[in-house]
Amino acid sequence: MNAIKTDKRTRSYDTVRAAALEALVLIERGEHMDSAIASVTQGKQFRPIDRRFILQLVNGTTKMRRRLDHDIRYYLAKPSAELPLLLSNILRLGFYQLKFTDRIPAAAAVSESVNLTHHMMDRPRANLVNAVMRASLRDPSRVKFTSRDDDPIKHLGDYYSYPDHFVKYCLTEFGLEKTEELLRKGNEPPTVTYRVNFLKSKPDEVANLLQTHGVEFSYGKYLPEFIHIEQAGLPLEAELLKTGKVFVQDESAGMAVRLLNPRPKNSVVDLTAAPGGKTTYIAIRMRNKGRLTAVDKSRVRLETLVENTKRLGISIVAPVASDMFEFNGGPFDRVLLDPPCTGWGTAGKHSDLRWAKTDMDIANLGKVQLAMINKAAKLVKPGGTLVYSTCTIIRSENDQIVEEFLLRHPEFEIESGAEYFPEELVSSRGFVKTYPAVDKLDGAFSARLSRKLH
């Protein structure tokens, strides 16, 4: 990255926090968080603990950006003045450490922020950072919020750090109390879930290994081969992940595959397959017997999918590098479509999407999603099954797409998810829905549609 100028004559500074700062600037300029972090750590000799700290700082600061900006303004001499991009992110990073971490001493957060500003900018701005952060420690009660009763959208958006359009949608869809719980849940530190690979292990074997090493966990409530890890990081990575005994996947993502219900010797296609989370779960549920076609337009991401299948011991996947609209295979017994979506069910894990997605994105994606499900339908055998799934909780990307599809395709009908999941997950129309505030799940949607025989 070449946009940040540094003064080599200044005092020492923390290179880990500097990398986090550089990533924050890249993200605000439009880069995805994963690639921003990869960019600033590439070729650097950071220890694993340093990389985890960078990820924590970048993810947390990005997630809480609106709240941090709100709080910082109360300590500026000119609250309405627009701060330079670099200075703004130094203050956000510092305030995040002060307000939202419990293991970083306040003195360290202040001094390291000041040192960073000396190094990246100049002494006057370093003095400003010092004054603002120390004032926030002396007088935390200076920060005020709009009344929740008078303006719930602004109050919740400022306090929990979400864009107004998403808060407004949630209030309309869920009401005030459930919205606040959903927003709060999305700000908790993300954890990982291990999906046990039946081709190489069993849930109890993985559980015993975790228990032996003192790792706290819980079984998935709806899919018991999913194991929720109750701590940060990827415990037993060498023993479990690298050997292919487990795969990282949220339990909610597995529900679409369970709803698809692929059987051994079926012919199945996953139309947006890479990097292979659902594809590999389909193959495992097929007991690695049958024909599974994995279509994706990204050859690079398909290479990752192939690597994942090899590690997991899967041999039935045939990767096809193709835009799904140009793919003409089939027909198939089972078709899975997981189209691009806004991802609003995963806002707790993908912090940058909060500020990258707009109302216009939702409208534009709806057109793409409808075109994709229309194409997917052509690949389904009579008597076969199509599952449409997303990782968003926005109705216009989910229910409305399926309902419009059904109006255009009377040869398809809904098969209720109640056959596969308990009633608390199944809507009156038979769709399977999960929400971030419930059962350690991401938000997700899936609908099972069967093609009539005649």
Q: Could you report the per-residue pLDDT of 77-96, keeping only the tens digit for each?
A: 988 888 999 999 999 999 99
165 shares a domain with 220: no
287 shares a domain with 361: yes
Domain residue limits at 179: 152-186
Distance, in Å, from the CA atom of 256 to the CA atom of 270, rounded to the nearest integer, reads: 11
Q: What pLDDT, in 10s, does the model give residues 149-162?
A: 999 999 999 999 99
Confidence of residue 11 (pLDDT cuts 50, 70, 90): low
303-327 mean pLDDT: 97
Give the contacts of 406 (CB within 8 A, at least 6 positions apart): 412, 413, 414, 449
Confidence of residue 347 (pLDDT cuts 50, 70, 90): confident
273 shares a domain with 256: yes
Task: Provide the token pair at 265.
Answer: 């010797």
178 shares a domain with 84: no
Question: What CATH number does residue 136 fall under?
Answer: 1.10.940.10
264 shares a domain with 215: no
Asked if 311 and 362 count as a contact pair (C-beta separation under 8 A), the reply is no
In a domain, 2, yes or no: no
Question: What CATH number does residue 217 fall under?
Answer: 3.30.70.1170
In a domain, 89, yes or no: yes
Give the contacts of 101 (CB within 8 A, at least 6 positions apart): 56, 60
Annotated active-site residue 170? The verdict is no
Distance, in Å, from the CA atom of 69 to the CA atom of 60, rounded to the nearest integer, reads: 13
In a domain, 9, yes or no: no
314-334 mean pLDDT: 95
Which one of the listed residues 391, 402, 432, 449 is annotated catalytic? 391
Does the pTM of the predicted model rise above 0.85? yes
239 shares a domain with 138: no
- Please determine, for residue 252, whether its predicted confidence score (pLDDT) is greater than 90: yes
135-141 mean pLDDT: 96
Confidence of residue 439 (pLDDT cuts 50, 70, 90): confident
366 shares a domain with 321: yes
86 shares a domain with 19: yes
Asked if 203 and 218 count as a contact pair (C-beta separation under 8 A), the reply is no
Question: What CATH number does residue 355 fall under?
Answer: 3.40.50.150
Flag the least confident range among 23-27, 45-49, 195-199, 207-211: 45-49
434 shares a domain with 330: yes
395 shares a domain with 275: yes
Distance, in Å, from the CA atom of 447 to the CA atom of 64, rounded to the nearest integer, reads: 33
392 shares a domain with 355: yes
Q: What is the domain count for the chain?
A: 4
178 shares a domain with 98: no
Q: Of 248, 268, 293, at which residue does a domain stop?
A: 248
